[in-house]
Structure 1
Amino acid sequence: MTSYSKSSLTAIILAGGISSRMGQDKALLNIKGIPLLQRTYTVASDCASVVYVVTPWIEKYTSILPPSCQMIQENTPTQGPLVAFSIALTQVKTEWILLLACDLPLLTSDVVQQWANFLPSVSDDAIAYLSKQDNLWQPLCGFYRYSCLASLQNFIKLNGRSFQGWLSQSNVQHLIVSDPDVLLNCNTPEDFNFITKQLENKS
C-alpha cells in the first residue's frame, strides 16, 4: 500500500459552534491540562502540512495555538459548519483535506495517519472518504477532495446547509473505523466526564 505524504494534505478545524449543550466554550475545555482545540490542532499538525482553524472568535483562541496555525475569520456562524467549510476550502492548495471538529479528544495522530495511508487508493470519482455511524456519514472527522468545492458551492447556493444532504447527492467512499470511540465529540458535561474517564483508563 502506498502511504500518503504529509505535504499532500491540508487540515481544516471548525471551531464556530456556540457550545449550547455544554454550557461553556468546549474548545477551551481542559483535558489533562490541554484545551480541546489545542489537542485537535496537535493531531492535525502531525498529519497535514498546513492547518486552518475557522472561527468567529480568532482572538479568543490565538493564545492556545502556535503562530504557524492559520486562522480564518468566520463571518456567518449562524449558517453552520457546511458554509464554514466552504469558506476555508477556497484557501486550500492540496488535493486532499482533513476536516475535523474542534472537540475530538480521543482522536490520535496515529489513527489519522493510518486512515490517510488509504487516500491514494480512494476511487477517483469519490469526493470524500468518511466513516459511518447509524447509517449516517460522520462529516467532521474525515477527508475531502479539493475537487468537491464546486458541488459544495452549488449546494449552498440552493440554500443547502446540511452535510448529510450534500453527501447524499455525492459519491463518498466508506472509511472503516475499528474503534468508534475516536469519533466521540464532547458536546455535553456528561460527554466530558465520560471522555475524561476513558483517557484516564488509557493512561
Structure 2
Amino acid sequence: MQSTGIILAGGKSSRMGRNKALMTLEDRAVIDRIAESLSTITTDLIVVTNTPDEYEFLGLRTVSDTYKEKGPLAGMEAGLRASNTEKNLIVACDMPFISSGIGGYLLTQLEEHEAAVPIIQNQLHPLFASYRKDVQSRIEQSIISDELKIRLLFEKINTKTVTETELKNQGFSVTENDFFNMNHPVDFSQALKISSQKSSES
C-alpha cells in the first residue's frame, strides 16, 4: 500500500519555549523518532516546516506552508498538497511515542472514508490521523474562509472516528503514551520518564 507520512513541524513551540521537534530523548531528536516509526508503515515521508534548514539532518523532503500563519490546518494543507499518494498519515512533531501499529490501522480506514481520526477518552486526535489526498482541497477552502478549527473540517468530509474500543478489538493495547504530546516543559519531563521506562523494559 503506497502511503505518505506527513510530519507537521511548523509550530512556534511558544509554550515549550524551544523547538519541540528537536528536543532529544535518549540522544535522539523527537522528530527523528517519529520519522523512524512512520518509515515502518509508509512508503514516503514529508516534513512540513517553514524552517527547512533545521531538518536537513533527517534527509527527508521538506515543504513549507502555502498559507502562512494559519495554524496546523495550513500544515495539513501543505503536506497533502505535496503528497504523491492517496493515503496519508499526518502526525504532529511533538508526539514521540506514536504507535506504528495504530497508524497503520488508521491508513486502512481510508478505503471507505476520507479521514480516520482516533478519539481517546473523549478527545479527538486530528494530528495523529489519516487523510486522503483529496481532502487538501476542502482544507484549502476552510483556510480561505478563515475556518481554522480542524473540528469544523470533519463536518465537511466523510470522517470516521476510531474509538479506543475499536482499537482494542483490533488487538492494540492502547495506552496514553500512544497519543502523548508535549506542549509544556513539564510534558517534556514526563516524556523523559516514559522514554527511560521504555528503555528499561526493552
Q: When the two structures are superposed, what TM-score results if normalisation uses the length of structure 1?
A: 0.85
For residue 162 of structure 2, the aligned residue among 158, 171, 175 is 175
| Structure 2 counterparts to residues 41-190 of structure 1, below 5 A | 41-63=35-57, 65-66=58-59, 69-74=60-65, 76-113=67-104, 115-116=105-106, 119=108, 122=110, 124=112, 126-133=113-120, 135-177=122-164, 178-190=174-186
Alpha-carbon distance between aligned partners in 2 of 1:171 and 1:196, rounded to the nearest angstrom = 37
Change (3 A) 1:73 1:154: closer
Q: Count the aligned residue pairs.
A: 190
What letter corresponds to residue 76 of structure 2 in structure 1? F
CA distance in 1, matches of 2:137, 2:64: 21
TM-score norm. by structure 2 comes to 0.85
State the match for 1:25 in structure 2.
19
The corresponding residue for 2:192 is 196
- Kept after mapping to 2: 8 A contact 1:77/1:84: no
State the 1:77 CA deviation.
4.3
Offset, 1:109: 2.8
Farther off after superposition, 131-140 or 43-52: 131-140
Please tell me whether the aligned partners of residues 56 and 75 of structure 1 are also in contact (alpha carbons under 8 angstroms). no
1:112 shift after superposition: 2.5
The one-character-per-residue Cα deviations of 1:117-145 (angstroms, maximum 9, x if unpaired) are: x71x5562x21011014544211001001
Identity %: 26
Per-residue deviation, 1:62: 0.9
RMSD: 1.9
DSSP-derived class of the 2:131 partner: strand
Output the CA distance in 2 between the equivalents of 1:160 and 1:195: 32
Residue by residue over 1:85-111, the C-alpha shift from the partner in whole angstroms, topping out at 9 and shown as x without a partner, is: 112212222221000001111114344
CA distance in 2 between counterparts of 1:127 and 1:82 reads 16
* Aligned mates of 2:70, 2:158 — CA distance in 1: 24
CA contact (8 A) 1:98 1:142 kept: yes
Given that 1:123 and 1:173 are in contact with CA atoms closer than 8 Å, whether structure 2 keeps it comes out as no
- The Cα of 1:56 is off from its aligned counterpart by 0.8
CA contact 1:136–1:164 (8 Å) conserved in 2: no
